[in-house]
Amino acid sequence: MSKLDEMTRRRKQAHAKLLAAKSRVYEAFLEMEKAAFADGALAKKHKELIAVGISVATDCESCMQWHIEQAAASGACEREVFEAMEVGIEMAGGPGTVSARFALEVIENVFAK
C-alpha cells in the first residue's frame, strides 16, 4: 500500500471513529469546513487552491493530500494546483521547498488518474 493510500485509509478510519463517538467538536469542525469551502465570492476551487498553499506553508502532509484532491475534484487543473503549491513555497521560504516534495508526489498521483 502506498503512503498516499495509507493516509487516505487512516483519515477515513479516524473520520468514522469520531462520527461514531458523536464528537461534538469534530461535527462542528465538519460544519465549519463545509461553510468555509462553500461557493461564495470565491468559488470552492479557489478556496481549495488557497488551502493547498497554506498546507505547503504549514507542512501538513495530510492537508496537502486532502486539499490537492479536493482542488482537482472542484475543477482545478494540474497547473493551477502547481502554482498554488508555489505560493506555499514562497510563503514558507526554504522549508516550503521541503514540503513541496510531498505536494509534488500528490499532484503527480492525482493527475495521473
Query: Does the CA dihedral 24-9-103-39 come out positive or negative?
Result: negative
Single pTM value for the model:
0.93
Per-residue pLDDT in tens (0 to 9) along the chain, 113 residues: 799 999 999 999 999 999 999 999 999 999 999 999 999 999 999 999 999 999 999 999 999 999 999 999 999 999 999 999 999 999 999 999 999 999 999 999 999 96
90: its cell numbers: 514562497
Type of residue found at 105: E
- Residue 87 CA to residue 71 CA, distance in Å, equals 15
The domain of 59 spans 3-112
CATH code (residue 50): 1.20.1290.10
Distance CA(78)–CA(84), nearest Å, equals 10
**Number of structural domains the chain divides into:** 1
C-alpha dihedral (94, 62, 79, 74), degrees to nearest 10: -150
